[in-house]
Structure 1
Amino acid sequence: MWWERNAVYNPGVAVYQNKITLLYRAQGPEWVSRFGLAQSKDGFNFKKVSEFPVMEPEINEPFERLGVEDPRIIKMGESFLITYTAASLYPARMARKGAESLFKEGVPWRIRIGLAETKDFNTFEKLGFLLDDLDAKDSVLFPEKIENQYVLITRSNPNMVISYSPNLVTWTQPEFMAGPRFGMWDGLKIGAGSTPIRTKDGWLLFYHGVNDKKIYHLGALLLDLNNPKIILYRSKKPLLIPEKPYEKKGLTPNIVFTCGAIEWDDQYFIYYGGADRVICVATCHKDLNGIF
């Protein structure tokens, strides 16, 4: 299909009607990002649900002019909540020096945290933007409230920050949570990957880290169940590095980038984008031996 001709990658994942459901990012010749949908009974063999995008940027929405990107999914009650990156440009007269300096040729990119909801992965309702004055991406909600608060981890480059809300509308000022570790595999910048998974030992969060050669890796954090600002463990070594040809060569080389992981039987299935071009999956046993 034309709308996904150039790339399909960075899917969010959920279990719906006993099937692993991928909400994936797709790009066509004009490079605008949209979301497609695919499902699987075994986690490896997927069938596309629709020939058309299930979610697209709004034509008249200034925050989404370049697309909807990198969905992350949680189940909350009877609904699935989806955080995503809304991509656009600052108007030239509003471009800030800080924004200009982050991108090639001074293009004033504007990125916001979008929120959408679905009950059936057929109809999607956009609920607005979170922390809508902040340039942020790599945003994940926790799948349950903690002390009656929604909890959001996002990226304020180059760090991960955390914020709380009673209602998904008003949010606390983001607080520092974790940063790069100089000289290590995540020494340049980091960002949340999958939505957090509750384990008996803490919240398991797979995340990406970029080193000084701009190579993306995947690692894991274990966060305190009652106070997720507290990091109990952090990967000393990456769990996944670009090794395969489809991870090393694509639209952007040397990238493994996850937006979703689920529990399936006795394993974690981690879905990730390879080199901003293809969708991949990695698995690890739920006992997490060797991860921390």
Structure 2
Amino acid sequence: MKTAFFKALGVASFDEKIFICYQSNENKPDEFNVDYSKDGKEFIHLSGSAHIETASGNIPIQNLSFFRFTKTQDVYNIYYLSEFEGRDYLEHATSLDFVLWRNVNRLFPITEPATQIPYYEEEGKEVIFFGGRSLNIGLSENGNVWNIKKIEMPEGRFTIGAVKEGKEGPLLIYFQNTSHEGHNHYSVSTVLLDKEDPTKVLWKTDKAVWYQPQEWINQKVEPVGIVDFAGTFISYWERPGEGVYCVTHNDLEKYANEKSNLPHAELIRNVGNPILLPRPGKIWESKQVFNAAAVYHNDSVHLLYRAVGDHDTSVLGYAVSRDGFGIDERSEKPAYVPRASFEHSLIGKKNKTGSSPFESGGGGYGGIEDPRITKIDDNFYLTYVAFDGSSPPRIALSYISVKNFEDKNWNKWSDPVLISPPGVVDKNACILPEKIDGKYVIFHRIYPDILIDMVDSLDFDGESNWLKGQLRIHPRPDYWDSNKVGMGPPPIKTKDGWLAIYQAVGFQDNSRYKIGAMLLDIEDPSKVLYRCSHPILEPETYYENGGFKAGVVYPCGAVVIENTLIVYYGGSDTYLAAATADLDQFLDELMFDNSPHLDPITLGATVKFNAEINQIV
């Protein structure tokens, strides 16, 4: 019985086709498969006996990796790494039929994956592009010995994917990886080089155009290669034990030619911000009004906002806006107050008793913090952070009938019940407005992740039936949301998926809360389809920096009115503000951003992957 084995070697695009080379246990040790495709996803088997000849015989394929291809007239070229005595060397081979290859030479001293632009020269010398700790070019007069020059880019860990000759110079598409918790995390970026001096950068993407998706975090992933297919770049990735996937990257050459940043989703602040201010004459909201839950109901936006007054206890106020911005009605008394001991045990006291390692997020001595509201059937469900001033903050749940909500019968809220386990700081809870596979979906946060629970019922007993954190959405290493992430408002259902607005903090800017967006799969909201590479809003204005806590924009509510997305957020834990976007444009820009869909490809040869043994059979 043969040992199960699969290895993707490389991809190429010629003659309106995409080729993929790979080896499996069906091949002889010195042979590999070549398949081709007209769409980049469905491949047809071409040959199972492709091989590379040398003067001493065929090369064992298991020692080869990172195939990169070019074509000059009728000759195909392959540049590949060949392992010898524990080291990789760059080799060059040629073919007339893409099946029978003959080794030509070794490119000394290059030891990284590399590729060329046919007939492209610098100072009359042949040029090759490769990565490593830096992006580099090699210059050679004979194709054997190369003089290395660094491209003017910060150091990192780069692998060349593809290069294309543009109007102003070479356009380089490359993989970059960083190590996190023992795993490589890949992204794709692009840079435009000067035609006259390709070590100089004319333009580069301000952030990666693609980042390893949520479901691949802390998983083994290998980049196979990138092709330019009819003006569109497609990258290919191998998941050992699962298969090969492709990602389409649109319009990269267009933005390189324009030297413009890639589009990304963003929110525009309401010109009338802040929309709510503290009221010094009201003892319960004299200091802070912020972090509002929001729901669009009966042609108006209803806001339940967090308020802190003279007693330093968080309660919830109520306000109504017909257009989503101007306040048409505002309650004279709180709409929701602490009623249980786990919400606040120090009501009316000015000072904490004893000491506690836990603090109220947003100031005060605890109470009802950071609400979210969801309408399900005939009830409005309220989730919030309950804090008693000393124990770890936990998630509480209450509900009120739609009729009582409309009539403002605030004494009709159900008794609050804790739904997160004791002894754990758990925040940022919200409920999806629709069941998925017959289950309610609850998002919450235990540092540093967004957690997701699928539950049969919202009838928690408050004693033993706790949220468990069945699924997770993680922060992203080396991104603006690298430290911690938390769900904002309940995700909004759109034609493209569940739009989730979230708040996050990055290690590189650890004191500032920013707002992001992601699109979740409509049938599986634990699956992130798209996620913004930039914040969609970050603290910049006086009301986002001049309050109780500077540098905070914190979303708890969002609605859509006539295709306008309105996000309600707390500014510096003191004011309530709003920001907007055209929903269709926002979704288009979010989907353009750096996490395009992963499409599994179908190979032409019979290959059955077995994820459990991380091989094929």
Partner of 2:159: none
- The yes-or-no answer on 1:159 pairing with 2:459 is no
1:290 is aligned, of 589, 592, 606, to 589
Kindly report which structure 2 residues correspond to 1:164-203, keeping only aligned pairs within 5 A, or say none: 164-168=454-458, 169=460, 170=465, 173-203=468-498
- The yes-or-no answer on 1:131 pairing with 2:420 is yes
**Distance (Å, rounded) in 2 between the aligned partners of 1:274 and 1:239:** 15
- The yes-or-no answer on 1:30 pairing with 2:325 is no
Using a 3 Å threshold, how does the CA distance of structure 1 residues 172 and 40 change in structure 2: closer, same or farther? closer
2:436 is aligned, of 133, 140, 146, to 146
**Distance (Å, rounded) in 1 between the aligned partners of 2:466 and 2:524:** 17
**Distance (Å, rounded) in 1 between the aligned partners of 2:343 and 2:542:** 34
Contact 1:218 1:238 (C-alpha < 8 Å) held by counterparts? yes
* CA deviation profile, 1:204-229 (whole Å, cap 9, x unmatched): 10001112222111111111111111
State the shift of 1:135 in Å: 2.4
Kindly report which structure 2 residues correspond to 1:62-77, keeping only aligned pairs within 5 A, or say none: 62-65=342-345, 66-77=366-377
**Distance (Å, rounded) in 2 between the aligned partners of 1:172 and 1:73:** 18
Contact 2:421 2:466 (C-alpha < 8 Å) held by counterparts? no
Contact 2:489 2:500 (C-alpha < 8 Å) held by counterparts? yes
Contact 1:251 1:275 (C-alpha < 8 Å) held by counterparts? yes
Partner of 2:321: 40
Q: RCO (CA 8 Å, sep 6+): is it higher in 1 or 2?
A: 1
- The yes-or-no answer on 1:216 pairing with 2:494 is no
Query: AA paired with 1:204?
Result: L
- The yes-or-no answer on 1:110 pairing with 2:392 is yes
Partner of 2:558: 261
Partner of 1:250: 547
State the shift of 1:265 in Å: 0.9
Query: AA paired with 2:377?
Result: G
Scaled by the length of structure 1, what TM-score is found? 0.89
Contact 1:12 1:259 (C-alpha < 8 Å) held by counterparts? yes
State the shift of 1:200 in Å: 1.5
* CA deviation profile, 1:116-155 (whole Å, cap 9, x unmatched): 1122332322341212434210011100111111111100
**Distance (Å, rounded) in 1 between the aligned partners of 2:306 and 2:562:** 26
**3-state SS of the aligned residue for 2:543?**
helix
Using a 3 Å threshold, how does the CA distance of structure 1 residues 194 and 172 change in structure 2: closer, same or farther? closer
- The yes-or-no answer on 1:79 pairing with 2:379 is yes
* CA deviation profile, 1:9-37 (whole Å, cap 9, x unmatched): 00000123321110000001232100000
Moved more, 168-177 or 282-291: 168-177
- The yes-or-no answer on 1:280 pairing with 2:569 is no
Query: AA paired with 1:64?
Result: H
Moved more, 211-220 or 153-162: 211-220
The number of aligned residues is 273
Kindly report which structure 2 residues correspond to 1:44-63, keeping only aligned pairs within 5 A, or say none: 44-58=325-339, 60-63=340-343
Moved more, 252-261 or 119-128: 119-128
Query: AA paired with 1:286?
Result: L
State the shift of 1:276 in Å: 0.2
Query: AA paired with 1:72?
Result: R
**Distance (Å, rounded) in 1 between the aligned partners of 2:432 and 2:565:** 17
Partner of 1:6: 287
Query: AA paired with 1:277?
Result: T
**3-state SS of the aligned residue for 2:386?**
strand
1:17 is aligned, of 285, 295, 298, to 298
Using a 3 Å threshold, how does the CA distance of structure 1 residues 151 and 171 change in structure 2: closer, same or farther? farther
Using a 3 Å threshold, how does the CA distance of structure 1 residues 248 and 291 change in structure 2: closer, same or farther? farther
Contact 2:497 2:519 (C-alpha < 8 Å) held by counterparts? yes
* CA deviation profile, 1:63-85 (whole Å, cap 9, x unmatched): 43320011101110111111111
Identity value in percent: 34
State the shift of 1:172 in Å: 5.9
Contact 1:163 1:171 (C-alpha < 8 Å) held by counterparts? no
Using a 3 Å threshold, how does the CA distance of structure 1 residues 211 and 249 change in structure 2: closer, same or farther? farther
**Distance (Å, rounded) in 2 between the aligned partners of 1:223 and 1:177:** 13
Q: Select the structure of larger CA radius of gyration.
A: 2
State the shift of 1:173 in Å: 2.5
Contact 1:63 1:112 (C-alpha < 8 Å) held by counterparts? no
**3-state SS of the aligned residue for 2:504?**
strand
**Distance (Å, rounded) in 1 between the aligned partners of 2:313 and 2:437:** 39
**Distance (Å, rounded) in 2 between the aligned partners of 1:67 and 1:80:** 20
* CA deviation profile, 1:226-260 (whole Å, cap 9, x unmatched): 11111111111110011111112210110000001
Query: AA paired with 1:223?
Result: L
State the shift of 1:193 in Å: 0.4
Contact 1:63 1:110 (C-alpha < 8 Å) held by counterparts? no
**Distance (Å, rounded) in 1 between the aligned partners of 2:439 and 2:468:** 14
**Distance (Å, rounded) in 2 between the aligned partners of 1:200 and 1:282:** 21
CA RMSD of aligned residues (A): 1.5
